[in-house]
């Protein structure tokens, strides 16, 4: 029979994962824990909600799409991590560095939405590589919903958008006309 953690152990497992891998989005922690069958999808989502509500995790300062263990979460983990089975802690320890690399490469695309002064919203989308800015795009949208849609689509298509802009800016007919 497979081990089934209690609700407190489920939350501790998420805290342990965050503490070893680093800042992650809800999707990333879900992928990480499900890859090794440490928790079920529903348990992860419920535990994430409870961790947020109890302020044991918080939005990352570097990227608001990511979560980080809060100071209170670190204290809780220090007190209770021994309650987690050693096999689960070992699994996370063995695989944390690999997933950290995967997630860091995914974090090279950042998006943010904020309200503007005239009732719409601004979507800022940034592509960077090894902490060097490659491409930044800021668009005004009529609503926050549309701005979030811009960001979601940019995450899916950022490579294409970047290439299209470069191709357009480097078109020979434009360069030739500007030289005349």
pLDDT at 62: 54
The model's pLDDT over 77-121, given as tens digits with 9 standing for 90+, comes to 999 999 999 999 999 999 999 998 888 766 678 899 999 999 999
3-state secondary structure of 37: coil
- Residues with Cβ within 8 Å of 23's Cβ and at least 6 positions away in sequence, in order, are 60, 62, 63, 66, 67, 68
Neighbour-count burial of 108, counting CB atoms closer than 10 A to its CB (0-12 exposed, 13-18 middle, 19+ buried): middle
The residue extents of the domains of the chain are 7-106, 109-179
- Mean of pLDDT over the chain: 88
| Domain 7-106: CATH architecture, name and number where available | Orthogonal Bundle (1.10)
Per-residue pLDDT band for 129 (boundaries 50, 70, 90) equals low
């Amino acid at each position: 029979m497979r081990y089934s953690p209690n609700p407190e152990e489920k939350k501790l497992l998420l805290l342990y994962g965050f503490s070893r891998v680093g800042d992650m989005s809800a999707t990333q922690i879900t992928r990480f824990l499900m890859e090794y069958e440490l928790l079920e999808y529903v348990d992860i989502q419920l535990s994430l909600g409870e961790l947020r509500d109890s302020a044991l995790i918080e939005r990352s300062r570097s990227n608001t799409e990511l979560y980080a263990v809060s100071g209170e979460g670190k204290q809780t983990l220090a007190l209770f991590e021994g309650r987690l089975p050693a096999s689960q802690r070992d699994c996370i320890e063995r695989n944390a560095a690999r997933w950290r690399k995967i997630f860091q490469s995914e974090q090279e695309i950042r998006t943010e939405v904020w309200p503007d002064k005239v009732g719409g919203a601004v979507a800022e989308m940034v592509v960077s590589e090894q902490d060097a800015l490659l491409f930044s795009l800021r668009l005004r949208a009529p609503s926050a919903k549309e701005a979030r849609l811009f960001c979601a689509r940019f995450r899916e298509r950022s490579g294409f958008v970047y290439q299209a802009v470069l191709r357009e800016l480097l078109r020979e007919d434009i360069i030739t006309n500007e030289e005349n």
